[in-house]
Structure 1
Amino acid sequence: MPKDPARGSVFRIGFAVLDRQIVADDGEHVGKTDDVEFSWNEGEAPAMTALLTDTAALGPRITGRLGRMWRAVLARLRPFDHDEPVRIPIGDVEAFSPTTRLSTPAPEGSRAAEKWLGDNVVGRIPGARR
């Protein structure tokens, strides 16, 4: 990957952004970055516009039979009506390394699938509430 002359260094998204823990400004763990969103205009370089997190963002990254199974299970267990991932605008990111730190509170809907599974599956296991 070539260096960006304006920045003077290489920014590797796969290393610095994807699968890194996201932490809100209050210290709450939001989740991990499952995908990134880009936008671009003709004649300009692509620009990263948002981080995508949650189980809905991870599904499309998994290919083949496992990916189809993941999306089918997600469609049945999704704790809310839409199957869009949680979108965090890039302007809300304070820093990327070693974890992605936000300058804002956790976005609404983050970790919803985890909370739903904790309440409705794990919470029903005898002794799980101790």
Structure 2
Amino acid sequence: MCVPERNVCHGRHSRIGPRDGPGPCAGIPAEQMAFVRQVLDRVGDKWSLLVIAVLEGGPLRYTDLQRQAPGISQRMLTLTLRRLRQDGLITRTAYAEVPPRVEYALTPLGRGLHEIAASLVRWAFDHHEEIREHRAHATAQ
């Protein structure tokens, strides 16, 4: 028997069957779920959230971004910026100056993601000792 239940992933009521389970993404069509996974894969990579966090301070040039994201290679920064731009999370503005100037900035969509990421960072900071203890215990076994 299906019962109407609030589906967080849809933001509306949907019919959830017994095999779908009560999870927040139950009932999402496969093609939409695939897109959700792609987005999560994109923003959950090693560098995207770091670039989003760095840009929260305001627009930056490429070299400033590279300085504030230590460890990222030029190739990976270029790829990350391109992908974030394709997803509408950042803008790239080229100014007609000599020497040429290009700045990257968060879009409203990117700022929304930053708010979520900031919550995750706060959670990690608040629980880092507990997580460290669990890791040490698991490694010792």
Q: What is the TM-score when the length of structure 2 is the normalising length?
A: 0.24
Relative contact order, CA 8 A, sep 6+: which one is greater? 1
Higher helix share: 2
